[in-house]
Structure 1
Amino acid sequence: MKKPNIIFILSDQQRADTIQAWGNSHMSTPAMDSLAEGGMSFRNCFCPGATCTPSRAAIFTGMYAHNTGTYSFNEWGHQRTWINDLADNGYWCINVGKMHFQPRDVSGGFHERVIVENPTSTTTWGGQGDDDWGKYLSFHGEERPNYRHISDPEWLQKWQGVPWHLEEHLHSDVFTANAACSWLNARKTDDDPFFMEIGFPGPHEPWDAPEEFVEMYENADLPEPIDFPSDLSNKPPQQASIREFFTRTDHEARIDMPNATHEDVMRMRRHYYAKISFVDQQIQKVLDTLERSGHLENSIVIFSSDHGEMLGDHQSAYKWLMYDCITRVPLIIRDFRKRAERQETEDLVSLIDMGPTILEMAGLKAPTRLEGRSLTPYLDHSVSKPREAVYCEDNYMIMRRSRDEKIVHYIGAPYGEYYRLDEDPNELNNLWDSPEHTQRRKELQIKTLDWLASSAYTNYGYKTNCEEQGEYGIRWHGNDPCLHGDNEDPKHEDLET
């Protein structure tokens, strides 16, 4: 049987509550809706990092930050990715758009790359000259829209909502879609199977969709921001510090959330939703091209985003925290080789699962270094045991989230966050210092430590291969773990205690 083409579409900074087919009537997302209508929607998918680089490093290496060292804007291009495993086993691998490798221009396992970074990344980002989109702009006599936070005296009053000012084909999201479509049109259907990662820069700020997309939301009934205005007195001090940081004049993401009015936030939201609809239009181009070029009937399309966006919730913008609006992301898998069938699951899953999932789709066994679990059992209704919890790491924070509880451990700090999500889904009441909840909070801290230790240990070169799998990825044989090395046959060993 011919192996499937696998197309992994990854937007940037898109919340989970931004797809119309998922019950968000204020959105216009026909392409994302079509994937949901014919595929599997994972309604409780979480990212492994709360910002771009840590999340992408974890997604594509298949390992968490404590095993790769990528907690922030660290270099991770030297790490082996599961794309290497695809390439080593007959897949032609291409990246079009954003990957956020550091250094930027490494192969990362891909045979081909068309590199597009953030729209306002300077031409010297990483010391490697401009990316492919920046070069395309220069071919047309234009420059990247850098430094507007300095040159535009009204920048703070625009709330990152700045409609695209050049011809539409010059937009980075359009360039990404057009480059992907061009490649697909040139690829013959009888060639080897391919894996394509399409990394759209949007809806990462600035929220610069063309004006017509902003107008779509002018009279829409938009959801209100959560906890606005907010009282951060019972939250860790970093939350106020992050909010203040973006008022600085030396930062391209400058935005004045401490002084935002309700009207300001709703304007910001309109522009953000408009950019998602603009990205959705580009996704439709890709789907149409897959069909016209004859590739779609043998393709699996996966859609997700690297993390979410505060969008005025808790009177903040952007990311770097562990609220659900940041860590919960869309994930839809549609297998076009099968009859269209709308399916959904509320089980907890993670983008750390992408490596094992995609490798299994390609007929490959996931290397033991990968920390996730394949999601393909959801596609054929054979899931045996859902996850108890998902984890996210970023800078000085580790999040453990179960269905009903969330704990955020701030490394080296006496404070933290603990929420009873069954009673407080909007994460308003931080119970970290509540005497009534101290015992439970400590139990969850121990569970987090247990996961951290297990993950670090198993990725020192040992993994398990028995049938029963515990919460932390260790499989047990009787009362003892069953260990085997990456390059050894599975074997049972008795461990002294």
Structure 2
Amino acid sequence: MADKPNIILIMTDQQRYDSIAALGFPHVSTPNLDRMVAEGVTLTECHITAPSCVPSRASLFTGYYPHTTGVLANGQEWQHTWVERLRDAGYRCVNVGKMHTIPYESDSGFHERYVVENKDRYMEGRWYFDEWDKALAAHGLVKQQREEYRKRPDYRTRLGAFDWELPEALHSDAFVGNMARWWVNTYPPTEPLFLQVGFPGPHPPFDPPARYSEPYLRANDLPLPSPARAELDGLHPALKEKRRHDVEVDHDSVAWSLDPTPDQMHRLWAHYLGNVTLIDEKIGELLSALRERGYLEDAVVIFTSDHGECLGDHGLIQKWSMYDVVTRVPTILWSTAGRFPGGRRVEGQCQLFDLGPTILELAGLTPPADFEARSLLPALEGKEWTPRTHVFCEQAGDVALGGVEFITGVRSDGWKLVHFKGSAEGQLFDLARDPGEVDNLWNDPAHLDKRRELLDVIREWLIDSNLRTRDLHARSR
């Protein structure tokens, strides 16, 4: 084995843990990810640090919690990353697709960036033209996005689910997968390589070419969400406000419904899963190209997502909440040269940003001492490893979260608490008894001690974080 393995980091946007067949969802076709699960190590309890794109990615690529980076909502500036350390250590660092740095085109440590951003940039960065925009323009085509979708008579009933009607190769996820494969096949072989591939999907609009969604439209056994009225009535006021907001404001071409029909839900899930299958296909093609060019002789391939998606669970759409369908992401690491044994699942809790120091150590580098992220390499190598007793999640008010200024979540192995700043109400779930997070015990007298215990955990975590990162704060002055 080489001193420095090639490292391939493949990320999707807004992909649920339960959207991969090998991870317990047999209703979806994901043969390439299934193979990675079979031959790699799956982190079954990997949770994000922020339930929206920009703060989650800023946390992942810096090694610090959102309150430390100061990036707590979409649209906030960030650009420096630990990729700079890989570049300085001799890696050829290449990004194809979405990183979601702000500004979008900052180098962030990469030698080359082929930026493809959100499918539907309506409010944010609308007039920034990425590689995908340029390709569409070169073909004389207008992107399917909010202005165009709004012209459709059934727009408000589609819930963001549409068919991609332009050439298939120009769908955002096909375009990113094809461009990554083109780079691998075209650039003179260079090692060690750090290649980050960011697929924009299955983030909405949920719009794969019809051939991907049609098999799911024909399926009659998809387990569709159907939240009870009691759960909807008992949602926190901020989430009730979010439901209303998402009906009135069509973020990402999704005009939500407070009471979607079974047919609407079926179509929504069919298009979401179709987009997942499209991405899986492109991952397979990319891995084949990497293998043919010799990069997989000694490589660590990592697959994950920046956060999940409610997709109708709890009566909600998209992210910006702290249910497990949003905070828990699929995370698979596969060593092609036996650097760590595969075919395993690591059950303990960890956080998505723990991948940062893991990648640095795989590259033979020492992570900064003040990193709040912790390396997962011992767990991968089957050595003694202590899972996180608690994982944390933070979100400032965002475009679709106007009913609250700040949300903080903490999750132990058996419990979850969500604190809404300025509200006497919160969320408390007994995950062992209620894994679907339906029965909110916040005001249950029998569980007031557990509520206080987890609030104390948040307090101690913040104090420890401020102490741990004090030198970082001093350097930033």
Q: What amino acid is aligned across from residue 254 of structure 1 in structure 2?
A: V
Partner Cα distance (1:262, 1:386) in 2: 40
Counterpart for residue 275 of structure 1: 275
Cα distance between partner residues in 2 of 1:253 and 1:240: 20
State how far apart, in whole Å, the 2-side matches of 1:335 and 1:312 are: 36
Q: Secondary structure at the match of 1:136?
A: helix
Written as runs of structure 1 = structure 2, the 5 A alignment for 1:9-28 is 9-28=10-29
User: In the alignment, does 2:187 pair up with 1:182?
Assistant: no
Whole-Å separation in 1 of the counterparts to 2:64 and 2:230: 35
Q: Contact conserved, 2:249 with 2:255, CA < 8 A, in 1?
A: no
Aligned residues of 1:148 and 1:155 also touching (Cα < 8 A): no
Deviates more, 1:155-164 or 1:337-346: 337-346
1:211-268 per-position Cα deviation (integer Å, ceiling 9, x unaligned) = 1111221233212315245633333111111111122256443323203122221221
The 2-side partners of 1:254 and 1:38 are apart by 37
8 A Cα contact 2:231 2:438, kept in partner: no
**Do structure 1's residue 354 and structure 2's residue 355 form an aligned pair?**
yes
Instruction: Give the structure 2 partner of residue 429 of structure 1.
Output: 439
After superposition, the Cα gap between the structure-2 partners of 1:230 and 1:18, relative to the gap in structure 1 and judged at 3 Å, is farther
Post-superposition offset of 1:43:
0.9
Measured in 2, the distance between the counterparts of 1:130 and 1:81 equals 23
User: What is aligned with 1:326?
Assistant: 326
**Quick check: 2:379–2:385 contact (8 Å CA) kept in 1?**
no
Q: Which amino acid aligns with 2:441?
A: L
Displacement of 1:272 in angstroms is 0.7
Paired AA for residue 215 in structure 2: M
In the TM superposition, what is the alpha-carbon distance from 1:461 to its structure 2 partner?
A: 1.5
Alignment-derived partner of residue 211 in structure 1: 210
Change (3 A) 1:219 1:81: same
- Within-5 A mapping of 1:188-207: 188-189=188-189, 191-207=190-206
- The structure whose residues are more often helix, as a share, is 2
| Aligned-partner residue type, residue 137 of structure 2 | S
- Pairing 1:218-297 to 2, within 5 Å after superposition: 218-220=217-219, 221-225=221-225, 227-229=227-229, 231-248=231-248, 251-297=251-297
2 CA distance for matches of 1:273 and 1:364? 38
TM-fit CA distance, 1:341: 3.0
Closer, same or farther: CA 251–343 of 1 in aligned 2, 3 Å: closer
After TM superposition, the structure 1 stretch with the greater mean CA deviation from structure 2, 105-114 or 326-335, is 105-114
- Partner Cα distance (1:109, 1:345) in 2: 30
Structure 2 counterparts to residues 34-433 of structure 1, below 5 A: 34-78=35-79, 80-122=80-122, 125-126=124-125, 129-146=128-145, 147-189=147-189, 191-220=190-219, 221-225=221-225, 227-229=227-229, 231-248=231-248, 251-338=251-338, 341-395=342-396, 396-433=406-443
What do residues 38-79 of structure 1 show as CA deviations (whole Å, max 9, x unaligned)? 00011111111101111111111111111111111243334x
CA distance in 1, matches of 2:450, 2:44: 27
- Any conservation in 2 of the 1:41–1:344 contact (CA below 8 Å)? yes
With the length of structure 1 as denominator, give the TM-score of the two structures.
0.89
Cα 1:205/1:252, change in 2 over 3 Å: closer
Over residues 401-432 of structure 1, what are the superposed CA-to-partner deviations in whole Å (9 max), with x where a residue is unaligned? 01100001112221111111111111111111
Which structure: larger Rg?
Answer: 1
Distance 1:226 1:345, change over 3 A: farther
- What is the CA-CA distance between 1:449 and the residue it aligns to? 0.9
**Which whole-Å CA distance do the structure 2 matches of 1:429 and 1:135 have between them?**
48
* Residue type of the alignment partner of 2:192: P
Percent identity between the aligned chains?
39
- Alpha-carbon RMSD across the aligned residues, in angstroms, is 1.9
Comparing 248-257 with 278-287, greater Cα deviation is found at 248-257
Q: Secondary structure at the match of 1:72?
A: coil
CA distance in 1, matches of 2:24, 2:42: 12
Q: Contact 2:429 / 2:441 at 8 angstroms: preserved in 1?
A: yes
Q: Is the 8 A contact 2:213 2:274 kept in 1?
A: yes
Closer, same or farther: CA 403–106 of 1 in aligned 2, 3 Å: same
The DSSP-based 3-state class of the residue aligned with 2:271 is helix
1:129 alignment partner AA: Y
Aligned residue runs from structure 1 range 443-454, under 5 A? 443-454=453-464
SS in 2 for 1:451: helix
Please state how far the C-alpha of 1:28 moved relative to its aligned partner: 0.4
Structure 1: give runs of 5+ residues left out of the alignment: 464-484, 487-497
SS in structure 2 opposite 1:258? coil
Provide structure 2 residue ranges, at least 5 long, that are not aligned to the other structure. 397-405
Partners of 2:205 and 2:252 within 8 A in 1: no
Give the SS at the match of 1:61: coil
CA contact (8 A) 2:213 2:270 kept: yes
Change (3 A) 1:424 1:68: same
Q: Is the 8 A contact 1:368 1:462 kept in 2?
A: no
Q: Secondary structure at the match of 1:202?
A: strand
Q: Secondary structure at the match of 1:101?
A: coil
Cα distance in structure 2, aligned partners of 1:216 and 1:400: 38
Moved more, 321-330 or 448-457: 448-457
By how many angstroms is 1:192 displaced?
A: 3.4
**1:369-388, CA deviations, whole angstroms, 9 ceiling, x for partnerless residues?**
32111111122110332211
Report the AA paired with residue 210 of structure 2: E
Counterparts in 2 of 1:227 and 1:127: CA distance versus 1, 3 Å: closer
CA deviation profile, 1:137-196 (whole Å, cap 9, x unmatched): 10110122231353223111112111111111111111111111111113444x331111
Q: Which residue identity is paired with 1:63?
A: Y
Moved more, 318-327 or 231-240: 231-240
**Structure 2 equivalent of residue 492 of structure 1:** none
CA distance in 2, matches of 1:252, 1:34: 32
